Structures are given as C-alpha cells and as structure tokens.
Amino acid sequence: MFQHHPSFARHKLVTARHDEASGLSAIIAVHDDSRGPAIGGCRISPYATPDAALNDVLRLSRGMTYKTAIADIPYGGGKAVIIADPRTDKTRALLEAMGDFVESLDGAYITSFDSGSTLDDVRTIGTRTRFSAGTLPEAGDASQSTAEGVFVCMRAAAELALGRPTLEGCRVAVQGVGNVGRRLVRLLADAGAHIQLADANENLARAVAAETGASLCGVDDVHRIDADIFSPNALGAVLNERSIPELKAKVVVGGANNQLATPADDLRLRAAGITYCPDFLANAGGIVNLHYQRSTWSPARLGDHIEGLAGTFREIFETAAKSGAGMGSVANAIAEDRIRAAGGQR
C-alpha cells in the first residue's frame, strides 16, 4: 500500500509498530541503503492523522539519503516517527518499546534525536538497541557541529557570492536561535558579523542577543530586513513564492530542514540573484558528527570533514554558475551520482 503514497519515492523499507502496553505507535522508513545503513533521527510529534505521520517519515527519510550522500559519509537515509505528544506522552516504557522496534531491524536503521526527542531520550532508546547514535559523552551535542557546518558554508558563500573573504562586518539576519541558531550566532559574533536575530520565543531571543551583542528584530520581518545574508534556523518552507521577492539578502544559508517550499523556489532564488546554500548541505554537520561518534571519535577529523562542506558548496556554486541550474538541483545531482556509484537507483 505504501508504494502508492505520493512521498514513497521508492523506499527500501517502511514498517510500523503499535504496542498496546507502552502506547507506542511508530513508523520507521529506510529510503536508501546503497551507501551504508540508514541513519536519521526519531521525531516525536502528535500527528493529527497516521497519514500525516507517514508523509513526514517518508519525506524526512528521503532527505537523509541526500544529506548522507552530500556529506559523503557511509550511510543511507532513514527516519523514524513516534505519534505522541512529546510534552505529555513520553514515558520510559514508550522509549524502551521504540528501542525494541529499532533493534528488531537488526541494524538496517540507526536512530538518533530529532524534534520532540532529546539526547536523554536517545540514551533510553539505546538501553534496548545497539543501533542508536549521538550520545558519546566526549562528542558533546551534535547541534554544535550542525552550527559549524552552517558557518563554514556561509563563509564560503560570502566569499564567492559577495566577494567578502571573511564574515567580519557582514550583516546576517538569523531566524530561530534554538539548538542550532544560538550556536551559529555565537560563531558569527566571534567572527565579527553584525547580527540581527528573531525567535518566536522572545525570552530566548533576548537572552541570545544579550550574550552575543546581536540586535533583535521581529519574527515577521527577519527574512526581509536589509542584510547581506539570511539564515533560516527554525522552520521549513520559508523560501517560497511570497517570501523570496521580499528578501533583501543576496545569500541564504541556514540550518533549517526543507527550506524550499517547492522545487520551483530553487530557480526562483536564482532568478532573483540570490545564492542559496542547499539546506541538506548547510545542516549536514550534525550527521557528520554522528558518523565519527559511531566510528573513531576524532575532533580533528570531524573538523576537517565539516570544513569540507565548504568545498562541496564551492563545487555546487561553480556548476550552477556555468549551467544556470538552481543550487538545489545541482546538489541533488551530486548526491544522486554518489548514490548511483554505490549501486543505488536514484
């Protein structure tokens, strides 16, 4: 039945489990495993319908295939969703039952944190499965690596698209200062950027601004203020038919997933003269961190790998400039070439 779902996109495996005793209702999707076992976080959300949960897990697992390929780590794409309210339904029994579900796939899917799940939750899941990632104590929070990846891509974009060799003095508008955004703001402040930031959580926005010397702006205005770079780190679909004509920034680099509302927005950005760093490249630092947590932990190798994301950005920028294609479609093509080279059929 899944094959007919509009988001199916030739998934390798889609499986669901309902466990009466713990209240677990979950779906695991493995999109592609030609480059290695599927990896991706476990999202916990009170989806309105099972179909909404299925749609989300299929879309997200496909995204992980492209992210692991563009980041050049030996993994495929997968994702899990638990249909539950993370504020009220997250019990130890539910997380343990999720661990059993992951373990039952015998390594075909490796889980980690995502929205609605914390590192502590992953630790609990990990008491029941060998296939969880992200909790190595010396590795800290993988969101730091995500922020570093956004930062190095932003620096490369400023150099190539704005002719600025560093981010010093660059005006950056940051939307969302949660796990990724606030770490990015710290890096930007250290680099001497002029930061304006907004967050739906006003107290958080004020605290991050006070800590870093950034200024505050309104959540409805952050994408359209006069800035050199816009950095979305909160929501998906922020780059759309309505918002793109309002952007004053000539560069967009941020950590949020699924920033383009539709594939057409990729070309819309290009036509507007805006350099867009494909989101699955900009935010790949976190998954690269998980790769080193699962192989041999090495801060130096992790740092080099994250720096390498900027090299991939350069390659995409140059190919897009020559061909006139959108940055997103060039990045997709690079990822698909790598998947095909490993025997996959994308």
The set of catalytic residues is 79
Please report whether residue 308 would count as binding ligand NAD according to CB under 6 A: no
Please report whether residue 233 would count as binding ligand NAD according to CB under 6 A: yes
- Closer to ligand NAD at the Cβ: 76 or 255? 255
CB 260 within 8 A of CB 201: no
Query: Which residue bears the tokens 């295939």?
Result: 65
Please report whether residue 219 would count as binding ligand NAD according to CB under 6 A: yes
Please report whether residue 178 would count as binding ligand NAD according to CB under 6 A: yes
Nearest residue to ligand NAD by CB is 178
Please report whether residue 211 would count as binding ligand NAD according to CB under 6 A: no
- Closer to ligand NAD at the Cβ: 117 or 332? 117
Residue 308: CB partners within 8 Å, gap ≥ 6? 72
Please report whether residue 257 would count as binding ligand NAD according to CB under 6 A: yes
The minimum distance between CB 196 and ligand NAD, in angstroms, equals 12
Please report whether residue 126 would count as binding ligand NAD according to CB under 6 A: no
Buried b (16+ CB within 10 A) or exposed e, 229-253: bbbbbbeeebbeeebbeebebbbbb
Asked whether the CA dihedral 38, 279, 343, 74 is positive or negative, the reply is: negative
Stretch that binds ligand NAD, among 1-9, 31-39, 179-187, 240-248 (CB under 6 A): 179-187
The minimum distance between CB 258 and ligand NAD, in angstroms, equals 7
Measure the CA–CA gap between 3 and 9, rounded to whole angstroms: 8
Stretch that binds ligand NAD, among 7-15, 254-262, 300-308, 332-340 (CB under 6 A): 254-262
CB 244 within 8 A of CB 167: no
Stretch that binds ligand NAD, among 3-11, 96-104, 200-208, 264-272 (CB under 6 A): 200-208
Please report whether residue 200 would count as binding ligand NAD according to CB under 6 A: yes
- Closer to ligand NAD at the Cβ: 143 or 275? 143
Stretch that binds ligand NAD, among 70-78, 140-148, 240-248, 311-319 (CB under 6 A): 140-148
The minimum distance between CB 80 and ligand NAD, in angstroms, equals 14
Q: Which residues 39-98 are close enough to bind ligand NAD by CB under 6 A?
A: none
Measure the CA–CA gap between 90 and 105, rounded to whole angstroms: 22
Which listed residue (99, 181, 278, 344) binds ligand NAD by CB under 6 A?
181
Instruction: Write out the residues near ligand NAD by the rule CB under 6 A.
Output: 115, 142-143, 146, 175-181, 198-201, 204, 219, 233-235, 255-257, 283, 286
